[in-house]
Structure 1
């Protein structure tokens, strides 16, 4: 019978071709389910998505006056949704989801962040979820992590942060894991047999080894993706694979939304990636899509009026995109504030009519049964939750 010292074996695991920072054996992956079967995916859209272009309120006559050189409305290729709002043409792949009741949105939303319009600060406030308290206190962590801390029965792998950058939204005391699409894990059949043999009588390391082999196959399949939306699809595919296992929370980000100039091209590419990610989630989750809510959130919106460079500048009110079988799709949520004189925030931006944190909070309440008091005091300190928008099916 083959014998091997475990410590010597661990010292030699670099031969398996895995990045040490992402090595399942070093991190001892374990799985633990959150209560229930519901799932939540948060996608951070870094760079401030122009919600007025992604989901166009063409029924407001001021939109065309403010944006004479940007395409607006169904007569310019946008896809009518309800006679007032239209979907940007590059989101056409998501139109069937709207028609099936699996896609919705809320306009005129924002965090409490105002006026300074810094991407970095805006993203920090969005992910911390604590209000307009800059600089963000790093000790409090992100709102998804605080949610895990107040939920009973959570341990080990309860959430996944997916992507190359640190996701502040999941930092904190509660256990969570991360994965980056660049991480490479190659386990040959011989290496798999060796792992199984060495760790057969040790449940902790045996389970970790099995996790390594599972991820090896997933990463191999994901690495075959090609094309301009490959990164976004890879993030979504891995998130789906974890959500199909024991995880119930996943977060990842899609950058590339800063459209100061040439907005048609910049926004188009970003929307392609978002649509591809959502569809890959739906494909990967299979039947579990029906118990999933996806929230695509951005740090702030953009100016109502176009600038002289064929784009828009940093603004305030924006849009939240929602998808999934757990979403009551086919609806536009929120109160439309208008784009006329006296209706804009600071005379330039879409006026926020609801805190974006309230939508995330109501999703948590409906999906996981978290009490209102914990939502307003612990997860989103200072939030006034308000009435239920009815966003869940």
Structure 2
């Protein structure tokens, strides 16, 4: 029986007849969310009118959140268009970005405009592989070696087990790591157009059953943190995770001077001293100015897992002054994002607002061939990050950063 009165539903929670997470079993999703807002208003005096003014059916968010009360509305803007010569992204793209940081989109848009004036950027996904790394217990190094040897000889057996759980994912490789009586197996998957974390987890669980049955190893945890998901990790910087993607552009020296009010040499020096030397001294895993800004804003706009911005920020920015025939220098600029985890199907991409943002990119849903839409999204985000790096470094090199924020009232 469905209750259509949110106040009556709230009363049942107050009396202990229902628990907060059980409301959707007794009412439609919107009524359940309204009942929770009533309860919170009574207990906290918070006015949740704006939180409750969302524009989609709450049932659409059922797979994305529990105990829903409404929606957090973040301003969304757009930058571009910019021309991209990509392995999957080809043509002119607008990039939707959702953020609360004033001046960010203005800065990225300036960078994209300069890139467009230079003829556009190139971008390529250089490696693909969503990872999950379970940890097993063994008696000692002898059993560890036995387990590693078996895994090396039976990759096809593990592939068959893992791929039996998915119609799309493909097991690419299993890399073993031994630490005393712990054995880690880092499974890597091609998850096509899905970001694929859930797919990789389920598939790896099935493969672990085979490892336990055929070796001395006993599974301790399906994730042993060598994956490494949602944490800063050198292994992701070196081996990659999700998609490794690079974007670059050569900007003629006259455009650098006219549009960015500085020189290629000044930008290259700022990048070396700030992004490379400064980051090294800080012990940073990312050697960039603010790649996380664009990655995070793009993730929120297009329905990616926002916690994986920590891996997306694992970016190296390079800037190089290249002598030209006019006696000055052109600017070569690149960003390399080692572990950008994105998808165009599943998860938050199904939410209405995020689906519309993917429509702006022309990348909603599965691509043809499979995986091409997610590749293209990674390449567009990389070009956006490149524009952000270019604009910020130019502002620093020309000493215009503070005045730009002042002019925009931020």
- State TM-score, norm by structure 1: 0.24
Higher RCO structure (Cα 8 Å, ≥6 apart):
1
- State TM-score, norm by structure 2: 0.23
Q: Which has the higher strand share?
A: 2
Q: Which has the higher helix share?
A: 2
